Structure 1
Amino acid sequence: MLNFTYKNQTEILFGKGQVAAISQRIPTSARILMLYGGGSIKSNGVYQQVQQALSQHQVWEFGGVEPNPSYETLMQAVALGREQHIDFILAVGGGSAIDGAKFIAAALHFSGDPWDILIAKAKFTQVIPIGAVLTLPATGSESNGNSVVTKKATAQKRSFSSTLVQPQFAVLDPEFTYSLPKRQISNGIVDAFVHVMEQYLTYPVHAEIQDRFAESILQTLLDVGPKALKQPENYQHRANLMWAASMALNGLIGAGVPQDWSTHMIGHELTALYGLDHAQTLAIVLPALMFVQRHQKHAKLVQLGRRVFAIHDQNEDVVIDQTIKAVQDFFETVGVKTRLSDYQLDGQVVQNVVNNLERNGMTALGERNDIDLKKAAAILRLAL
């Protein structure tokens, strides 16, 4: 096991009615920016519950944060925050709203060009605190310091990470997910699954606790994911899905182990260039990447197949082939297509994505930094 330091500072408020508790966690003197997306929170009752909880607070609203939040939109929120001297951000929504809140928190008092936080990893020290009310189980953004932002003007999707912008608290009420469209739940299942895989499917370092914990999250997603789709108002299915997605990326299973993240980096370019949903890109890239990297990931692929999918053929190559197919089939089962052609994309996408990877310096990806542009192209061609 590799050396690690682990601390998770986010207080999780899990369960029905927990949104009421946020009033005790934000000072009454705070000037709050309430950040949300397209407005669905106003039709499903979440907005009203948040407003009631904050009835004694000063609140300014900023709606319209897109899926894959855009730099251009978030900079409008930064301008509002500066104008109104905002000193607390409450993100209400999924990972996009929470990612956006993290960028705003970092950018609000940043003296330079805020894009440098993403493109040049510019340091920042003065941030404002964040809270989150989660409505979509997917990214785990509610309990980590990661943020991904897309600049539409240059078709670049970039990320940064800092414990300084990790939410102080997060409300996880499974009932808030009942009204979500199936597509969003499907995407959330895939996103959480791939988050685990990026931290698990590398090479063994004798981290038995992390491996077993990661496998249990994968098994939970395999079990409750389809059930949560079929029974949208089953509290227990939605509760387990919500908690699995949060645990997938709160830092615990990634402590002391090598991590990959090449599926995400290649997927980010597909979103930036073609507007695909984040989870759609992951479902496209991961099975092809597993095949291309099968030798480098041999031991963990066999372990995944045997422990998670109960594939016990004596021939390890057969186990790997069947495991890759099982992952691809699972994505299809929960309603997320796994081929570029499923999204009306042809062979030209390969060179376009490779060009963007090169432009953004993504030329040595993976846990061994051995996924170069040539391998990235091979992965994309296999995914056609």
Structure 2
Amino acid sequence: MRFTYVNTTQILFGKGQIGSVQSSISTQDKILVIYGGGSIKKNGVYDQIKESLKNHQWIEFSGVEANPTKETLDKAVEIVKQQNIDFILAVGGGSVIDGSKYVAAAAKYNGDGWDILTGDHQVSDATPLGAVLTLPATGSESNSGAVITKAATQAKLSFMSPYVQPKFAVMDPDVMKTLPEKQLINGIVDAWVHVCEQYLTISHGAMVQDGYAETLLRTLKTLGENFEQRDTDEWRENLMWAANQALNGLIGSGVPQDWATHLIGHELTALWGVDHARSLAIVQPSLLRNQLSLKRSKLEQMGVNVFGLKPSENLAEKTIDAIERFYHTMQVSTQLTEHGDNKQEAIDAVIAQLKQHGMNALGEHQAITLEASRQILTEAIA
């Protein structure tokens, strides 16, 4: 192992922590509060934010989509520039927080913000930001990554920069009380695949990373299997914390990572609007079967340590089946149906997108070529 690990985000976890916002941002700062479709005005979060910022100068920007688009976010970028905003407060789930990271970085750049996603501009500064998490799933509240969609070209790309790491993250599990069941399930699936992308690679002997990854997977599995307990404090707290720990950088430090499921899944979301988490559930089982020979050892380890399966010649295959059953118990499909009737046309469309975005060799071994992606999609698309 050889790595550098730091996580600079202050976590403010627990009931009533939204009130901590007032002491986390200087009263000298002019704040832009960014949020989504307005659910925070129905569940009481907006009122708590308003109370917490009563001694601050702030304005708001709403309307960030479930898959945040450059087109919407650029409007917020202009506000930051024109209004001389000193601090951004993202109030929402991963999409709002990702979008706010784009705004924070693009506001310090004179060119087209999309250059950040294509790699034509390297972020060297950003407006400081904090997050109030309302939907646990992505871990975006305490990492430096963001995924943004350009609606005009149906492109969904990501960027990472330490400059957009949130200064603080307020995590109050009480805000989950009004979330729809579908969003809670998406949170479980999203966090599950985040862990898998950093765990289901090769055997490497990093016992702490593997052990913690397995603990997170067992936790998420228990939450999914006990979904009827979702209205309890314990259930909510454990999902919010597990989703955060799944992608705060720790379990991926010093070990190989995959992320092919995400990169292929992004195209399903960009083309057909599939929920991010559900795009992952569609791609992952087919991808694991396609890459079975390279991932057999870790799949066997997962089968024993997460699912409690007994060692056997086909343990890896049984583990993939168990993953798929886990999704099915939560009524999450593992095949794409949103594409309509023309399967071949859908496969060709995804491959074209992958090719355009340079996704010609994915996975920890760079073994998922466009042809392998085509094979994966043939199994993943109904």
Separation (CA, whole Å) in 2 of partners of 1:40 and 1:333: 28
Q: Is the 8 A contact 1:145 1:164 kept in 2?
A: yes
Aligned partners of 1:277 and 1:126: how far apart in 2? 31
Q: Give the CA deviation at 1:124.
A: 2.2
TM-score (norm 1): 0.97
Q: Within the alignment, does 1:63 sit opposite 2:62 as a pair?
A: yes
Structure 2 residue corresponding to 1:236, chosen from 234, 237, 255 = 234
Q: Show the counterpart of 1:330.
A: 326
- Unaligned ranges ≥5, structure 2: none
CA separation in 1, counterparts of 2:308 and 2:224? Answer: 18
Residue 13 (structure 1) aligns with = 12
Q: Distance in 2 between matches of 1:18 and 1:284?
A: 36
TM-superposition CA deviations, 1:101-126 (whole Å, max 9, x none): 10000000202221100012511222
Per-residue CA deviations over 1:316-358 (Å, capped at 9, x if unaligned) read xx21111111111111212321111377463321111001000
Secondary structure of the equivalent of 2:362?
Answer: coil
Aligned residues: 380
Aligned amino acid, residue 78 of structure 1: V
Q: Is the 8 A contact 2:12 2:171 kept in 1?
A: yes
Q: Could you tell me how far 1:225 is from its partner in structure 2?
A: 2.8
Alignment of 1:123-134 (within 5 A): 123-134=122-133
- 2:295 maps to 297
Letter in 1 for 2:318: Q
What is the DSSP-based 3-state SS (H/G/I as helix, E as strand, rest coil) of the residue aligned with 1:347? helix
Q: Which amino acid aligns with 1:333?
A: T
**Separation of aligned partners in 2, 1:148 and 1:53:** 29
Shift of 1:140: 0.3
- 1:279 is the counterpart of 2:277: yes
Deviation of the 1:6 alpha carbon: 0.1
Per-residue deviation, residues 211-254 of structure 1 (Å, max 9, x unmatched): 00000000000002343x42332111000000000000000000
Q: Name 1:187's counterpart in structure 2.
A: 186
**1:373 and 2:370 aligned:** yes
- The corresponding residue for 1:383 is 380
* Higher mean displacement: 120-129 or 304-313: 120-129
Match of 1:252 among 229, 246, 250: 250
Q: What residue identity is the alignment partner of 2:325?
A: D
CA distance in 1, matches of 2:363, 2:156: 18
Q: Which amino acid aligns with 1:81?
A: V
Unaligned runs of 5+ in 1: none
Equivalent residues of 1:225, 1:241 under 8 A apart:
no
Quote the Cα distance in structure 1 between the aligned partners of 2:154 and 2:53.
Answer: 37
* Secondary structure of the structure 2 residue equivalent to 1:296: helix
User: Deviation at 1:291?
Assistant: 0.2
Contact residue 21 and residue 53 of structure 1 kept, 8 A: yes
Look up the SS of the partner of 2:292 in the other structure.
Answer: coil
2:310 alignment partner, SS class:
coil
Counterpart mapping for 1:31-70 below 5 A: 31-70=30-69
CA-to-aligned-CA distance 1:94-152 (integer Å, 9 cap, x gap): 00010011000000020222110001251122211110000001000001000000000
* Separation in structure 2 between the aligned mates of residue 24 and residue 325 of structure 1, nearest angstrom: 49
Amino acid paired to 2:262: H
Counterpart-to-counterpart distance in 1, 2:330 and 2:29: 42
Name the SS of the counterpart of 1:32 in structure 2: strand
Mapped contact 2:339–2:346 kept (Cα < 8 A): no
Q: Secondary structure at the match of 1:196?
A: helix
Question: Contact 1:91–1:97 (CA<8 Å) still a contact in 2?
Answer: yes
- RMSD over equivalenced CA pairs, Å: 1.1
Give the secondary-structure state (helix, strand or coil) at the position aligned to 2:368.
coil
Q: Percent identity?
A: 52
- Alignment partner, residue 119 of structure 1: 118
Partner of 1:146: 145
Give the partner amino acid of 2:317. Answer: D
Q: Separation in 1 of the partners of 2:245 and 2:42? A: 28
The answer to whether the 8 A contact 1:12-1:171 is kept is: yes
1:348 maps to: 345
Higher deviation after alignment, 128-137 or 333-342: 333-342
Code of the residue aligned with 1:178 in structure 2: it is K
User: Does 2:76 align with 1:82?
Assistant: no
Using a 3 Å threshold, how does the CA distance of structure 1 residues 53 and 226 change in structure 2: closer, same or farther? farther
State the SS of the aligned residue for 1:147: strand
Q: 2:272, 2:339 within 8 Å by CA — same for their partners in 1?
A: no
Alignment-mate amino acid for residue 250 of structure 2: L
